Structure 1
């Protein structure tokens, strides 16, 4: 039995029919929705992480490619969890380079918000920060693909954790008026994280741009501010 088949069978054994019925609605897989056509078997994330931890050191990138290109959502997410573990556990720069190249070559399969948000800053964002290769994120932010843009801005989470917010602000401004609500949420979320590190920096940014922001973005960005301050922004009193 191939290792991919072992992983597929392990996930199948963990499937929950009720979750398999619920996830397509939760991840918007209907016609015309952002996750159109995605398929689920009903495995919860903690169980996927356990499977990833068991198999990540045993599977090659070539084998991982088959799992990451699966039509089953949980196969792809588990593959990404394994890829993250491979990246975090190695100290070999050549291996890290290969993992990042692999990630970039499989972007078309990283096509829902949980797949993006679980992986991009832990692999691509960290790599860009540690190797001064922000150009990788900048190219994605300019892409016509919405998931690429989300990968770019959420990828800056690693920069924020290290105290650097300039790239986050650049991407938020660049895609401030993107038509999709998922980008508004991502932009607001990253601004909120920036504020968690430096509230004064968030306030300064909001004072310049809050009246131009989609409402969803603003609500996410101000979520951790004092109630009175949030109301001032929501009512345009600043």
Structure 2
């Protein structure tokens, strides 16, 4: 398939912003070695603020078919920039049909949303918000039940929109379902969302911790209790609660 003019322009804009030292650093940071979670991912070496600038310039000029070209790229920055543009398209329209299209597009491109930054910067702004505003939490629940780790992370981080609105049942459901998942990236996501829940309502966090903290992986627990009073934090770490 021939590359569209707008995609070529975006690729060139990102290439100009490439920094050799970042291109060398990012593959190590995002664990792209054999057997690691980002195995085989390629990087141009473009900083996130620069990607956001490119996305801001082009999001209104690119259609979803062209965005698909960019999001299916082997280069990480192409995919993240595409997601930034999709977020802008979703957030800046009041048309329900356009929002529906953006959600369908996101769900049909899940294989390319395959690293923690791609997940974390996009899922709650699109899927989480859409599920909350349209009472469609089954979208997130289905992902939480998937065997694919990135789907599970999309589900739990997707509940961030619910947490911001003071609604916690989905976060607790998904964290509990995947509490003892085999990968540290899930423990971090679970702990992060529990911490955010605690920031909104500490009593909710403490009630949850009292049920589950002794079986939580250490990483999850440390993330979850990070903002608590130091004495209480130590009580949880030492199993005194």
TM-score when scaled to structure 1?
1.00
Deviation at 1:14, TM superposition (A): 0.2
Query: C-alpha root-mean-square deviation of aligned residues, in Å?
Result: 0.5
> Match for residue 121 of structure 1?
124
**Is 2:37 the counterpart of 1:50?**
no
Which 4+ residue blocks in structure 1 deviate beyond 6 angstroms? none
Instruction: Give the aligned partner of residue 209 of structure 2.
Output: 206
Q: Deviations over 1:165-201 (max 9, x none)?
A: 1100000000001000000000000000000000011
Residue in 2 aligned with 1:60?
63
Over residues 31-74 of structure 1, what are the superposed CA-to-partner deviations in whole Å (9 max), with x where a residue is unaligned? 00000000001000000000000000000000000000000000
After TM superposition, the structure 1 = structure 2 runs for residues 188-203 of structure 1, keeping only pairs within 5 Å, are 188-203=191-206
How far does the alpha carbon of each residue in 1:76-124 deviate from its partner, in whole angstroms, 9 at most, with x for none?
A: 0000000000000000000100000000000000000000000000000
Q: Give secondary structure in 1 for the equivalent of 2:101.
A: helix
Unpaired runs of at least 5, structure 1: none
- Tell me the equivalent position of 2:142: 139
Superposition deviation, residue 125 in structure 1? 0.3
> 1:28 offset after TM fit, Å?
0.1
Secondary structure in structure 1 of the residue aligned to 2:122 = helix
1:103 aligns with 2:106: yes
Query: Who is 2:176 aligned against?
Result: 173
2:151 aligned residue: 148
- Give me the whole-angstrom Cα distance separating, in 1, the residues matched to 2:180 and 2:225: 18
Aligned length in residues: 238
CA deviation profile, 1:139-161 (whole Å, cap 9, x unmatched)? 00000000000000000000000
Give the Cα separation in 2 of the matches to 1:167 and 1:13: 42
Question: Matches of 2:61 and 2:176 in 1, distance apart?
Answer: 42
* C-alpha distance in structure 2 between counterparts of 1:233 and 1:87, whole Å: 41
User: Structure 2: how far apart are the matches of 1:65 and 1:48?
Assistant: 17
1:19 aligns with 2:13: no
TM-superposed deviation, 1:130: 0.2
CA displacement at 1:232 relative to structure 2: 0.2
Q: Which residue of 1 aligns with 2:219?
A: 216
Q: Using the alignment, how far apart are the partners of 2:37 and 2:238 within structure 1?
A: 31
Partner of 2:228: 225
- SS of residue in 2 equivalent to 1:237: coil
